Amino acid sequence: MRYLYGDSTPFPLGYNFLTTLEAFMAASTRIVQLDVEGAQLAKQREEVAQNRVKGLEALEQFHTVVMRAVQDTAQKVRHQHALEYARAVAEYATHYIDEHRKSTLGSNERESLQLRGDNDRRASEMRAQLEAFLKAARFPVLKTKLAIRLNLDGKDARHSGTAAFEHPDGIATSFTIAPHRTATWTAPRKVSDFVQGVALHVGVEKSWLRGTVTAKELVVDDWTIVQVDMSDESFELALRRKLTEKEMLVFRIRRNEAGAVGGTVEHPGAPAAEALPGNLGAQDVAQIERVWAALKAATRDVTDQKEQLINVSLDAQPVFENGLAVPFVVRLVSMFAPTVREIAKRSPNEFELTLKTEAEGGRREELYLRKEALVSTLQPLPAKGREVFAPLGLDSWVPSMTAAPPPVVAVSEPPPRSSGAVAEAAQAAHPAVPPAPAAPTSTRKL
């Protein structure tokens, strides 16, 4: 299946971008709204705290003037009653100032703690919104690092893993994944499940007469895969002959910038293995490359099984730890804007963003998303927050740039068309990408 623009010209991205866009708008507008609300609340509480401090300073200045006048007058009267009166007034006034100072500082501290708690709650919701979007979205990937482990718990064995992605524009994400949700990784797998005839000179042969240790050819087809770590440049594979035994083979190979590949092998748990050379020969490296290519093909669906967000960074800076959620949204807006504007330009209906899918037999379906559904997500935002999304070209009225919203003009709606389930064709191609709950992308048969 391939994707087309609404005018039937090829669409460069191999997935339903409209599903990603609606999920992005739902999550990112809420993130911006939370940030704006937090900034406004912080400003209001800062103003209240400053007014309290100014009031305390004014009271202390007044207290100083009054006490000086009382003391001066008492010295002029030079009577015991006047002196006692001045002392009593000074004690009461000083106590009053101390209590007011405690009350002021205490109120400011309580509100500061409350603001911190509110900010933590907003940050938690921002993370949840961003995680939900990143788990559902699809956007370009430059590099992928995948790790799969076979976890043993008594008689039970289940695969788990992590996936790290490097995206364009300085964005990087990583997730825990669930390989066991795919048909390929529901149970322990052997090398022969992916490639056969993997013969390596990594066996250990010990001469009892001479006491020497040499390498012998070993076919690892029946060995179980217990660990896989791979990227475009490196591959690590751990095998066990039997899951109940400690003996393992651990292969590591790496491709350098010139394209040459070299590798090593370790024999954890094997007796006398330390006497064998750790470097792999050229033939053995070629055999492990076969396994690498086969496992790369067998794990394409695994990276879609995202469970939990581990980290998201912007220009190598952690987004949540450094308060970069809104700059992250701004970066994504910049990434998506050219695609959104191009889709809008090529859509036959000015009220919709349209793509098409084309099956191998030539059958086409239209995917569409109403612009008003996306613009409605901007409604809770003030002018400053709304401007963040202006590059997408969805909102013709940007409050800070236009004195007033355009007048309401009656327009003829396009003829009603049937809308089905959410991006049925795209979901068939990418079942791991659930649609956003709001404003679902719809399909039309052509």
Angstrom distance (rounded) from CA 381 to CA 379: 5
Angstrom distance (rounded) from CA 167 to CA 20: 15
Closest CA to 151 of 183, 174, 190, 179: 179
Burial class of residue 44, CB neighbours in 10 A (0-12, 13-18, 19+)? exposed
Cα radius of gyration (the chain): 34
| Per-position pLDDT tens, the chain of length 446 | 899 999 999 999 989 999 999 999 999 999 999 999 988 888 888 888 899 899 999 999 999 999 889 888 888 887 888 888 888 998 999 999 999 999 989 988 888 888 888 888 999 999 999 999 999 898 889 999 999 999 988 778 999 999 999 999 999 999 999 999 999 999 999 999 999 999 998 876 666 555 566 678 889 999 999 999 999 999 999 999 988 888 889 999 999 888 889 999 998 876 666 666 688 899 999 999 999 999 999 998 999 999 999 999 999 999 999 999 999 999 999 999 999 999 999 999 889 999 999 988 888 899 999 999 999 999 889 888 899 999 998 876 444 443 334 443 433 344 444 333 333 333 333 333 333 344 456 765 55
The DSSP line for 116-130 is HHHHHHHHHHHHHHH
Angstrom distance (rounded) from CA 24 to CA 22: 5
Angstrom distance (rounded) from CA 107 to CA 123: 24
Token pair listed for 32? 């911006």
Q: What are residue 40's phi and psi, to 5 degrees?
A: -65, -45
Token pair listed for 387? 């401007």
Angstrom distance (rounded) from CA 104 to CA 56: 7
